[in-house]
Amino acid sequence: MPYNTIIEPFRIHSVEAIDLPDLEQREAALERAGLNLFGIHADEVIIDLLTDSGTGAMSSKQWAGMMRGDESYAGSRSFFKFESVVKGITGLSEVIPTHQGRAAEKILFTVAVKEGDVVPNNTHFDTTRANVEYQGAEALDLVIPEGTDPSAILPFKGNMDIDALRATIEDVGSERIPLVMVTVTNNSGGGQPVSMQNLRDVRAVCDEYGIPFYLDACRFAENAWFIKLREPGYEDSTPRAIAKEMFSLADGATMSAKKDGLANIGGFLATNDPAIAMNARNLLILTEGFTTYGGLAGYDLEAIAEGLEEVLDEHYLRYRIRSTAYLAETVAAAGVPIVQPPGGHAVYLDAAALLPHVPAHQYPAQALAVELYRAGGVRGVEIGTVMFGKPDPEGGPDTPAAMELVRLAIPRRTYTQSHIDYVGEVVIDVASRASDIAGLRITSQPPWLRHFTATFEAV
Ligand code: F0G
């Protein structure tokens, strides 16, 4: 096409009103929630960028599929459709539906991981880490060193550090490493992609030591698109062919269909290992449901099967990755520090760089997230010392997290360019008065996963 504007490759078929709470209502909501954005009601939010998980809009074909859902307990037609789509994309032989990604993780790690084991990943997502640790095993993050430097610009900043992987295996012994996992894209590291070459290198090391290799495939299609854009030799490949090659390097995968399944719920565990599959299915029946629905309704399986096809559409992926980059470029051009280059599903604001006057133990990223909500009703999420820092048992300052970020995650097919322009305006306005933003102190916190329920006050 001779024109440069990348349009949303869909038109809107059903709309949902956005409430427009005024400043007074937002102040009241913050007060009630103790400055914790998880305590804000969705109808008090103008643009909700808390997560890209389960928040996307489904297509008319997905809704039509839901009407065809077969709710049979055993052997549902919808399951066989879902299974055939997942096999078609991944090439993996055993497909086990689960109610979401963490259920697939829980089942895989319960059957494959035991106390004293070590599981390497580029960067574990928090539920992945928690499920590894719940087994009494160690979750080790081995992303390349640039992967934790917000300003380092690299095409594949989510890559696994192959030397570190090899050194870890030599150090702990392959018998204590039940599997190696790679997260595509690397969510906790800024939504950064992993190259095909890196996946091949991980495969080669795993082969050398006889260790199974699994993908955390939540955003596999976005990763495939980055490979097409950035990795020599893939310019002319389709996202489907790239995805298939990515999965062909792995022995299995866990998936949250709430991301690149374009569905509001669902997930799966897929594997080529019949023994893992058998044990996983037995556990599935115990905790999720029978093997042909795994905690989902038949209509959810239909929505996911259709979503997995639609997510690989080139027009969709071009628009998706471009619209994330558009927000990133808008705010970066105004001098707002962000994780570079922008990832697939989110823009990450660098609160440590923006609020240098607020020390980590006064939660600069939480303070920034609160201000974005107060100023413009935009809800992001803190990924910093509130989420990953360690409280001091003696009541001293917390041990800080590696980075102080606010993630603005973009739901799929949900907001238009003017919504994103609005977000850009709010971010730029708040950043222009960053030196006035005060740090926070915690007034109450639970013993674990404090970011969901802790309360705060301004210092
Ligand atoms: N793995 C990754 C990389 C994820 O980003 C998530 C969820 C999961 C696993 C777990 O999947 O939510 O279906 O159980 N990430 C969401 C987020 C919650 O906001 O980033 P789930």
List the pLDDT tens digit at each of the 459 positions of the chain. 789 888 999 999 999 999 999 999 999 999 999 999 999 999 999 999 999 999 999 999 999 999 999 999 999 999 999 999 999 999 999 999 999 999 999 999 999 999 999 999 999 998 899 999 999 999 999 999 999 888 899 999 999 999 999 999 999 999 999 999 999 999 988 899 999 999 999 999 999 999 999 999 999 999 999 999 999 999 999 999 999 999 999 999 999 999 999 999 999 999 999 999 999 999 999 999 999 999 999 999 999 999 999 999 999 999 999 999 999 999 999 999 999 999 999 999 999 999 999 999 999 999 999 999 999 999 999 999 999 898 888 888 999 998 899 999 999 999 999 999 999 999 999 999 999 999 999 999 998 789 999 999 999
Asked if 404 and 339 touch (Cβ cutoff 8 Å), the reply is no
- Best of 99, 102, 192 to mutate for ligand 1, by most ligand atoms within 8 A of CB? 102
Report the atom number in ligand 1 closest to the C-alpha of 219. Answer: 3
In this structure, the residues whose C-beta lies within 6 A of any atom of ligand 1 are 51, 53, 100-102, 125, 127-128, 183, 187, 216, 218, 256, 258, 267
CA of 17 to the centre of ligand 1 (A): 27
pLDDT of 340 reads 93
Q: What pLDDT shows up at residue 115? A: 97
pLDDT reported for residue 392: 87
What is the SS3 assignment for the chain? CCCCCCCCCCCCCCCCCCCCCCHHHHHHHHHHHCCCHHHCCHHHCCEECCCCCCCCCCCHHHHHHHHCCCCCCCCCHHHHHHHHHHHHHHCCCEEEEECCHHHHHHHHHHHHCCCCCEEEECCCCHHHHHHHHHCCCEEEECECHHHHCCCCCCCCCCCECHHHHHHHHHHHCHHHCCCEEEECCEHHHCCECCCHHHHHHHHHHHHHHCCCEEEECCCHHHHHHHHHHHCCCCCCCCHHHHHHHHHHCCCEEEEECCCCCCCCCCEEEEECCHHHHHHHHHHHHHHCCCCCCCCCCHHHHHHHHHHHHHCCCHHHHHHHHHHHHHHHHHHHHCCCCECCCCCCCEEEEEHHHHCCCCCHHHCHHHHHHHHHHHHHCEECEEECHHHHCECCCCCCCCECCCCCEEEEECCCCCCCHHHHHHHHHHHHHHHHCHHHCCCEEEEECCCCCHHHCCEEEEC
Return the closest-CA partner of residue 97 out of 113, 88, 110, 86: 86
What's the confidence (pLDDT) of residue 125? 92
Ligand 1 atom closest to Cα of residue 258: 13
Atom 16 in ligand 1: residue holding the nearest Cα = 53
Q: Which of 37, 52, 53, 184 to mutate to test the pocket of ligand 1 (most atoms within 8 A of CB)?
A: 53
The rounded Å distance from CA 140 to ligand 1 centre is 18
Per-residue model confidence (pLDDT) at position 354: 97
What pLDDT score was predicted for residue 407? 97
Q: Which atom of ligand 1 is nearest to the CA of 50?
A: 19
Ligand 1 mean position to 19 CA, how many Å?
27
Q: How high is the pLDDT of residue 4?
A: 86
Report how far ligand 1's centroid is from the alpha carbon of 125 (Å): 7
> Which numbered atom of ligand 1 lies nearest the CA of 103?
14
Pocket test for ligand 1, best of 108, 218, 412, 451 (most atoms within 8 A of CB): 218
